[in-house]
Amino acid sequence: MNYQELGLKFACRDEALYGIASVPEQPAKRGVLVLVGGPQYRVGSHRQFTLLARSLAEQGFAVLRFDYRGMGDSGGEMRDFEQVDEDLRAAIDQFFAAVPQLEDVVIWGLCDGASAALFYANQDPRVTGLVLLNPWARSAQGFAKTTLKHYYRARLLDPAMWRKIVLLRFDYGAAARSFWNQLATVLGRAAATSDNTPSRPSFHTRMQTGLARFDGKVLLVISGADLTAKEFLDMANGTSQWRALLDAPRISRQTLEAADHTFSRRHWRDQVSSWTGAWLTTW
């Protein structure tokens, strides 16, 4: 399907934001707003978001990817993922103005973009769905626990590590220091919990509340080889509230077992695009 790409400039408070809309000749009534993750701009690692937007446009969906205030071409001070609600609303306003055929929008977010989407979605009735890829749930204790649980187990099965050991190239000192640092962090969490000190970052609660209040559809996409994804799942599996939310019929889940955090290989990226496009037509 043919599509055109439109450069958009719009305001968020007193700052100018910039984005690119990929718009088919006859766009579907449902659009996609792409949220970047981390200190990243609208193109994405290995042109990930550019290629996603063009792929979805070829499938008939208008897609907007943009820079938050303080990132890429947009003005203002840099802000983190907990402070972009106004940016999202401004982008959706401009998206609907630029593509008048739109009736609703799905937010597609990677990493802390997925977390930001959870914060915002329930506040805007135009948002009817979320695609959440490897949501960010980072805490020092959570990451240490995930590393001990998943990383070291995988290392024991890694032929490359055993080759280093056989060839006397393995750094036992560095490995031991890393292991004990992670263990100390986990034990520090246990001590804090025993002292009734909150150990869960407040944004975990915001994510949970946002998902509970959002009544739209959700597609959760997980990379099997990503510690960020594993940390999110460990966090979610640790509470009955999260488990109940993720087990709801409105939530679909897909896993790419070998994929890294940003789905950097072409066949991983294409699979994500295919899953997204198919899921967008399910309601």
Q: What is the pLDDT of residues 56-114, one digit of tens each?
A: 999 999 999 999 999 999 999 998 899 999 999 999 999 999 999 999 999 999 999 99
More confident residue, 172 or 207: 207
Confidence category of residue 38, pLDDT binned at 50, 70, 90: confident
User: Does residue 34 register a pLDDT over 50?
Assistant: yes
Confidence category of residue 217, pLDDT binned at 50, 70, 90: very high
pLDDT at 40: 84
More confident residue, 181 or 120: 120
Confidence category of residue 37, pLDDT binned at 50, 70, 90: confident
16, 36, 95, 108, 258 from 71: Cα distances, Å: 11, 10, 19, 18, 30
Lowest average pLDDT, out of 83-92, 134-143, 245-254, goes to: 134-143
Query: 3-138+202-280 adopts what CATH topology?
Result: Rossmann fold (3.40.50)
Q: For residues 111-131, give the mean pLDDT.
A: 97
Q: Are 106 and 31 in contact (CB under 8 A)?
A: yes
Q: For residues 172-177, give the mean pLDDT.
A: 60
pLDDT at 233: 95
pLDDT at 12: 97
User: Does residue 155 register a pLDDT over 70?
Assistant: no
User: Does residue 45 register a pLDDT over 90?
Assistant: no
Ramachandran area for residue 70 (φ above 0: left; ψ -120 to 50: alpha; else beta):
left
More confident residue, 242 or 140: 242
**Closest to 88 in 3D by CA, of 72, 65, 54, 59:** 65
Domain boundaries, the chain: 3-138+202-280, 140-194
Q: For residues 176-183, give the mean pLDDT.
A: 56
Within 13 Å and on the Cβ side, how many CA atoms surround 253? 14
* Interatomic CA distance for residues 39 and 259, integer angstroms: 21
User: Does residue 255 register a pLDDT over 60?
Assistant: yes
pLDDT at 44: 86
More confident residue, 166 or 67: 67
User: Does residue 197 register a pLDDT over 50?
Assistant: no
Confidence category of residue 198, pLDDT binned at 50, 70, 90: very low
